[in-house]
Structure 1
C-alpha cells in the first residue's frame, strides 16, 4: 500500500496548508490512488472504500482543485440533513482561500437564488432535485458535483431521487463516493467514470460471531481466534469486556423497543465498569436541559447516561441525538444502543460493533421475519475502529444457535454486498422522474424523452414499458399536454413539480378536494397523511380498534376493506389525530404518551405535514377549490408551530413558539404591534433578555410587512 506525502501532491500551497492544519501529513493509499487517477485534474471518478478511509478529503481535493483551475461552483450532495450539516462545517476551512460555503436543505418550493453568492454548496439529493425544477440562475455555473453515500442508489425510498440527480449530474464533472458498491464496474461505466476501489482501512477490521451457550458465550473471529466469556447475555458480556479494556461499543438492535430495553440492561451492569462520573454528569445535564424533547425521554436518558449508556433512534429529537453523538465522539459515553439508521448517518466510530439481530420484522407479512441485507450489515460493521484510538476494530454478530455459524460467516462476513440496482422501476418513481425531466428541460418530443430516460440505470426494455404508460398517465391526468409534437407541463403539472410532491399524491389531493365539500381539520390531515408522501407511523393492535372511534367528523376517504390498505388508512388517521392535538396546543408530553411516539417522531410528522398542508393549499388553488385552499392555508400556518388560529400573528415572530405565544396572548399581547407598544410588559412576562430580543424581532417583522 502506497502513501503519498503532501509535498508530492503538486498542489497549490494553500491547499496543502489547509490540510496540514488538520494534522494530516500524508495521503493514505486510497487517496494516493485517487490522485494518481486524476482526482486533482478533474477526472470523473467513482471511489469505493471503507468507512473512515478519508473520502471526504478526496472530495475536497477534487472540488478545490477544480474551482481554482476552472472557476464556477461545486455542489456536494448527501442523502441526510445531518450529513449535510457535518460536511458544511468541514468545508468552512476552505473559506481561507476565499471560497464561500453555503448549505441548503428542505423548503422544496424555492429556487434559493441567494446561493448565487456561494462557491461550494452542500445540499441533499432531494433539495438538489427540486432546485433543478426551479431553475435558479446559479445552477448553470455548477460544473462539479460530488455525490456522497452513492450506495443510496439502492435504497427503495431515496434511490429514485439519487438516480435522478445522477442522470443530470453526470453531464458535468462528477465524483461519486461510497463505502460499499460491489458492482462498481457497472456503476462506474454508467457514470462514465474511472473506478478507484480498495478494501484498505485506516483501522483493520476483525469480524466474527458471538454465540450464547447457557451461562457462557463464545466469540469466534474470522481468523479462528476464539474467546470464551462468562455471562448469560452475550451483548452485555462483550460490552463490559470491551469497556474494561478502554473501548467504546455500538450495539445495533432491530427495533426501538429492543434498543431501549438493551440499553437499560447494560446500564444495570455498568457499576462493574470504570466510569468518569464528573464527565457523565455533565452529559446528563445537557440532556436534561435540551428544549426540543419530551420530559419522559429526557429523564430516562438522563439516568442512563449517568451509567455511560444511552439508546439512539429516529424517535429521539434532533437535540438529544446531537448531544448523544457528540458525547460519544468525545469518548464520554461508553455505549450507544441504536437502530440501524445510525449506521447510515453521521460518522460515529467505536472500537466494537455488536450486531444484535440478523432478522427484522416485515410489517406487510404478518409474523414474518426477514434477514437483513448484506449492505446493511456492512454499513453497521464499517463503524468499528476509531482512527487515532484503536489498532483494530471488531464487529460481532450475535447468534442464538451454533448451527447458524457457518451460514452467517458465509453470507455476511465473507460475501460482498448486494449489487446496486435502479429503484426507478415502479410507476410512482418513474412518473415522478418523467415529471422532473419535463420540468427541468421544458418541452420535449417523445424521442427526446426516450433518449433522456435511457440514461438511467434501468434496462432499456423496462424504460420503454414505463415510458409508454407514464406519458399516457401523466397526459390523461392533466400533468402534461402535447402541443406541436412536444410534451410540456400543464399549469397543474408545473405546480406539482415545483411543490416537489409525488404525482400520485397530487392526484389524490385533487380528486378528493375537487368533488368534496369542506370538512373538519381532521379530515384534511387524514387525506394528506394517506397520500404516498404522507408520514407513516406504527399502529398497534390495541390502537386499531380505537382509532376509528376517534374520528369525530366525516373523513374524505372511506374505510377500505383490504387489510393492508386498512393499516395504511389507520396509520394516516393516527397521524391526523396527532397533528390535530398539536395544533390544539395539547402539551407535547401528553401527545408523546397518548400516541406512544418519541419527540423525533413528532417533529418529523409536523415537518412533513407542514409541507403537505402547504402543497395541498396550492394544489387546491390551481384547481380553483378556493374554500379548501383557504382552509389548508390556515392549517399550514398552525401546523408549523402547533397553535390555535388566534396565535398565528404571534408565532410569525422569530423566537416566539407556542408556549410563549400563549402566555403573551393570555396577557392581552395578541399581535406584533402589541409587543412593540408594550416592551416592558413583554420583558416582565418573558424575562429581560428574551423580552428585549422578542421586541426587536417584532419590530423587524412589522418593518418587513409594511
Structure 2
C-alpha cells in the first residue's frame, strides 16, 4: 500500500514519510490501515520489533489530531518517553505540538491541555487521572506501547487500570495497543474491544539459533561454522565474528556483576577493531562517563568504552545509560553486555543478540530459574534493523547436545506465554481501589465492580474455577482494609474517600505505605533523620537493600544501639521475617544517612555494594516518600512536620542540616556547598552579598561556575571579570587548578543535579 493511499491522516504526512525514505507501508501497517487505525478504530498490533509499530501509532494519532482531537502515547519507561518525544518532534514543523510528562505525581499537568500529542509513562497518566487533569476527557486516541507489560506484577496493574479509566471517561476512545510479543493477542483485543493485527512479518530476516561446539545451529535447520579459539569463550568468538562483518553485538546476562565482567573481557576483543577516529570519539565519551559520578562504576565503564565495549544495568546512573545507548546506536561502541533492562523498548538495535544467560536467580524459588519465553523473545527482537543491518541473528549458548535440544524446544521454537493480569495482587488492588473511589470513578461496591469489569483481570479471571466471583472476593477484602485504616467510609451503600484517603491517593502512595508512615509518625515525638529514613525505607514503596552474608549481625547491633531513634517498636528477633525486613530497612536508612552526611559517593557504593544508579533511585524514592510523610503529618496536624521537612531536604541535597539553605541554590550541590561553607559563606543570603574573590577561591578558581552560582543566588554583579581567587578560601585538600577552567568537577555528585 502506497503511503499516499492512506485516508484520514493530514496531507503533509505522506510527503514527510517520503522524505524519510518511506514510499509504501509494510504489510502489518497496511493491515492496520485496512482495520481502520486511521479512521478511529481501536487496534491491537502484535508484530515483531522493527516491523513498523511506531508508524501504526503515528497513523492513529495524526489522524485523530487532523480531526481536531488529542492523542496520548503511553510508554513504560522515562527513557522511552524522551526517545519518543524526540522522534515525534519532527511533526512540530507541520503545526503539531508535542508534550512529554514523566515526573511529579502531584502535578495535574494542566499545561498539557494545549498539546496535540502527549507522551507519558503509565504511572504519570494514572497520577494525572487521580489529580483531575482537565484535558483527560478530551482525548480521542490513546496508544499503549509495550502493552504486554500488563503482565508485569509491579507496573502492569497501573497500565491496566489506567486504560480502563481512560475508556470509562471517553466511551468512544480509540485505543491502539502495541507489542512485539503477546502470546494471547486475541484476549487483549477482546479486552479492549479492538481489531487484531497479529503478524510475524519482518522487513529483514531474523534468524534464531543456538551456538554449540564450533557452529551456529539455526531454526531453519541450517548450520554455520563459528569456531571458538582455545583462548576464547563462545561470546567472545561470536563478537569477533560479528565485528569481521561490520556488525555490533548485544549480550544479555543475568546479573550486574556478570554484565561488568563480560564487558571488561569483551573490550579486549573490540579494541583491535577500532580506527583512529573511533578511538578519539570514544575517548571523549569515556571522559563524559567519568564525570557522571565519582565512583568505580564510572571509571570501569569509561575504561571499557575507550576500547569499544560497555555494560548497561540498573546500577548505572541514567547519564551512564544514555551515553552508552547513543554511542551504541552510532556503532561507536561495538558490544554492550546488559541485564534485561535494555530489552524493554529502548531503541538499541544490533546485528546480533546473544542471550548468554537464560537462567536467573529467583528469591521466591530459592534458586536459578529459566527466563520466560516472552522475555527471551523481547531480547531476541533487538537483533537487526532495516537500513542498519542486512540481517539479524539472535543466539543462545549451549554447553551440551542435550542443552542444544532443550534451548530449541524451550525458546527458539516456542511461542511466548499468555499475558496475564496481575491486578488482583494486594498492593495493586488496594492502591487502585482507593484511587478509583477518591477520583470519583465509583461511589459504591456495585460501581466498583462495574468499573473493574472493564479490566483485563475481569476478562480473564472474573469467574473462579469453583464458581465463585473472584472479583467480588478481592474487592470486598480490599475495601475492608481501606475502611479499617480510615481511608474510606461508607453508610452501607455509598462509599467515599476520607480526607486522609484523598491525600494518600493524590500523593500516589500505596495505602499500606501511608498506614506505616502514619503509625510511625504518631509513635515518634522527636524523630531523628535516621528514624525517618528508616520509617520510609520499611514501606512497600521502597525497595530495601538486600542483607548480604554477615550483614545480619552488624545491623542487629546497630538496631539495638539506635533503638530509641526508630519511629515504632523494634520487633522481636524471634519474629524472624519481620525482624529481617526491619534490618533491611535499617541498611537502606543507613545508606541514606551516609548520603545526607556527605559521605563520598564512591565510598557509599563500596560500603553497600550498590551502583550510582541505585543511590539515585533510593534518594529519589526517599525524597518522594518523605514529602508524602510531610503532607500526611500536616493533614493530621502532627508536631513532626519540621523534622520530616528537614530530613527530606537533607536527603534531597545530600547534606548536613547546616548546608540545606546553601545547597538549594541552583548549581551549588553538596560538594560546592561544603567548600563555600568552609570559606565562611553559610547561607543563600551570605552568597548573595559575598566577596567574589572568596567565592572564586572556594570554587577552585572556576570563573564560569562562580558566575553561574552567584547569578542563581541573586548577586547584583555576578561577573568574575578581573577577579582573582582568594587563595585563603581555596579548599586546602585540593590542588590548584592553574588553568582556572570549569572542567566539571563538583558536578559529579548526585546532589548537584
Common fold: TM-score over 0.5? yes
Q: Shift of residue 244 of structure 1?
A: 1.6
Give the deviation of 1:152 after TM superposition. Answer: 0.6
Q: Counterparts in 2 of 1:108-507, with a 5 A limit?
A: 108-170=105-167, 171=171, 172-211=173-212, 213=213, 217-226=214-223, 227-231=225-229, 233-270=233-270, 273-290=272-289, 291-366=291-366, 368-441=367-440, 444-458=443-457, 459-460=461-462, 461-483=469-491, 485-507=493-515
CA distance in 2, matches of 1:352, 1:239: 8
Q: Secondary structure at the match of 2:129?
A: helix
Q: Secondary structure at the match of 2:337?
A: strand
Q: Matched residue of 1:673: which SS?
A: helix
Matched positions, count: 690
- TM-superposed deviation, 1:365: 4.1
SS of 2:681's partner is coil
1:238 and 1:304 mapped to 2: Cα distance?
A: 18
DSSP-derived class of the 1:230 partner: coil
- 1:704 corresponds to which residue? none
Deviation string 1:470-494 (CA, Å, 9 cap, x unpaired) is 1222112101011483111101101
SS of 2:550's partner is helix
| Residues 442, 451 of structure 2: 8 Å contact kept | no
Are the aligned partners of 2:646 and 2:657 in contact in 1 as well (CA < 8 Å)? Answer: yes
Q: Give the secondary structure class of the aligned counterpart of 1:137.
A: coil
Q: Is residue 713 of structure 2 the alignment partner of residue 698 of structure 1?
A: yes
Q: How far 1:564 moved relative to its partner?
A: 4.7
Contact 2:45–2:177 (CA<8 Å) still a contact in 1? yes
- 1:154 Cα deviation after fit: 0.4
2:534 aligned residue: 526
Alpha-carbon offset, residue 91 of structure 1 = 1.1
Whether contact under 8 Å (1:684, 1:691) holds in the other structure is: no
CA offset at residue 445 of structure 1? 1.9
Q: How many angstroms apart in 1 are the aligned matches of 2:597 and 2:338?
A: 33
- Counterpart among 546, 560, 578 of residue 538 in structure 1: 546
From the superposition, tell whether residues 684 and 61 of structure 1 become closer, same or farther in structure 2 (CA, over 3 Å). Answer: farther
- Cα offsets for 1:44-67 (capped at 9, x unmatched): 111111111121122122111111
Compute the displacement of 1:463 (Å).
0.9
SS at match of 1:144: strand
Shift of 1:189: 0.9
Distance verdict in 2 for CA 1:566–1:277, change over 3 Å: farther
In the alignment, structure 1 segments of 5+ residues that lack a partner are: 702-706
Instruction: Tell me the TM-score normalized by structure 2.
Output: 0.88
Question: Quick check: 2:311–2:338 contact (8 Å CA) kept in 1?
Answer: yes
Structure 2: how far apart are the matches of 1:283 and 1:544? 43
Maintained 8 Å contact 2:351/2:384: yes
Unpaired segments ≥5 residues, structure 2: 463-468, 717-753
Are the counterparts in 2 of residues 52 and 201 from structure 1 also a CA contact under 8 Å?
yes
Q: Distance in 1 between matches of 2:285 and 2:235?
A: 28
Distance change >3 Å, CA 679–CA 161, structure 1 → 2: farther
For residue 499 of structure 1, report the CA deviation from its aligned partner: 0.5
- Is the Cα contact below 8 Å between 2:254 and 2:357 reproduced in 1? yes
The residue number in structure 2 matching 1:594 is 607
Taking a change above 3 Å as real, the CA distance of residues 326 and 443 of structure 1, as seen in their structure-2 partners, is: closer
Offset at residue 679 of structure 1 (A) = 6.8
CA RMSD of aligned residues (A): 2.0
- Determine the C-alpha separation between the residues in 1 that align with 2:577 and 2:420: 27
For residues 586 and 463 of structure 1, what CA distance do their matches in structure 2 show? 49
* Distance in structure 1 (CA, Å) of the matches to 2:210 and 2:53: 29
Secondary structure of 2:540's aligned partner: coil
Residue 562 (structure 2) pairs with residue 553 (structure 1): yes
The one of 679, 683, 704 aligned to 1:689 = 704
How far apart, CA to CA, are the structure 1 residues paired with 2:609 and 2:618? 14
Q: Which moved more, 1:77-86 or 1:300-309?
A: 300-309
- Deviation, 1:656, is 2.0
Give 3-state SS (helix, strand or coil) of 1:360's partner: strand
Contact in 1 for aligned 2:160/2:455 (Cα 8 Å):
yes
Give the whole-Å Cα distance in 1 for the aligned partners of 2:715 and 2:424: 50
How far 1:565 moved relative to its partner?
4.2
Pairwise CA distance, 1:517: 3.4
Q: 1:526 to 1:277 in 2, by over 3 A?
A: farther
Deviation at 1:443, TM superposition (A): 5.9
Check conservation: 2:304, 2:310, Cα contact below 8 A.
yes
Deviation at 1:92, TM superposition (A): 1.1
Deviation for aligned residue 1:548: 2.6
Which of 645, 650, 660 lines up with 2:672 in the alignment?
660
Partners of 1:283 and 1:323 within 8 A in 2: no
Decide whether aligned partners of structure 1 residues 602 and 277 sit closer, same or farther in structure 2, where only a CA change above 3 A counts: farther
